[in-house]
Amino acid sequence: MDPKINEYLMKLAREDDKYILEMERTASEKNFPIVERLVGRLLFVLTKLKRPKLIVELGSGFGYSAYWFAKALQNGKIVLTDYRKENIQNAERLFLETGLIRKAVFRVGEAMDIAKEYKDIDILFIDIEKHQYLEAIQTLLPNLNRNALIIADNSLWYGKVAKNIRDRETLGIKKFNKYLFESQDFITMILPLRDGVLIAYKLS
């Protein structure tokens, strides 16, 4: 995105939620990757529209995206996963403080293995190692509910997907994008926010 446009949008998207501001500060200080505020708002609106019972995140970090999901949840719950215990502990502390803890389940371990335990997933959020994206969706297809949403971060991978770059991560994202766009069972799009957010709506 044009930096001027980004600046304009960030100025519009003023935020009062002190937990969001605190997480954004931490991410910036520690150079920890988060989906950022404009994507956070998108996750919030999609959750309001979808009214999911169950959200599963593959790769939650310290809980920034999960917090936006959880804020929008009415009666559902969200499963956070991360292979680093420290991340999940930080997320749990945040959810405890904000009063959202009853909506969340915190799991340390291999995201895909954990996700396989859950049936009828309404929103599957993917933010793990980029070469694992395709395997993740193929593995978890039977666990998706009717009309599920798949939301995947980094689907433009710094623009590398549009260039002739062939490292494992770029190829992984390209195969994942192609698979979902070509599938007759989904209508798929990529929103050019931050590093690209793929959204696939399951038609059946």
Strands 186-191, 77-82: pairing is: unpaired
Is residue 110 within 8 A of residue 136, CB to CB? The reply is: no
Nearer to a copy of itself, 2 or 29 (CB): 2
- Within 10 A of 27 (CB to CB), how many other CB atoms are there? 17
- For a copy of itself, give the closer residue by CB, 85 or 163: 163
Closer residue to a copy of itself, CB minimum distance, 76 or 87: 76
The residues binding a copy of itself (CB under 8 A) are 1-2, 4-5, 7-9, 12-14, 38, 41-42, 44-46, 48-50, 147, 149, 156, 159, 161-163, 177-178, 181, 187-193, 199, 201
Closest CA to 48 of 69, 64, 29, 33: 69
The nearer residue to a copy of itself, 90 or 177, going by C-beta atoms, is 177
47: its two tokens: 């959750």
Instruction: Determine how many CB atoms are found less than 10 A away from the CB of residue 96.
Output: 11
CA distance 157 to 30: 21
- Strand ranges, E, within 109-202: 121-126, 144-152, 186-191, 197-202
CB of 153 to a copy of itself, least distance (A): 15
Amino acid symbol at 11: K
Shortest CB 179 distance to a copy of itself, Å: 11
β-bridge partners, 124: 56, 150
The CB-of-174 to a copy of itself minimum distance in angstroms stands at: 9
Maximum CA extent, the chain: 47
Minimum distance of a copy of itself from residue 193's CB (angstroms)? 7
Instruction: Give the nearest distance from C-beta 95 to a copy of itself in angstroms.
Output: 21
Shortest Cβ distance from residue 29 to a copy of itself (Å)? 26
Q: Which C-beta is closer to a copy of itself: that of 44 or that of 118?
A: 44
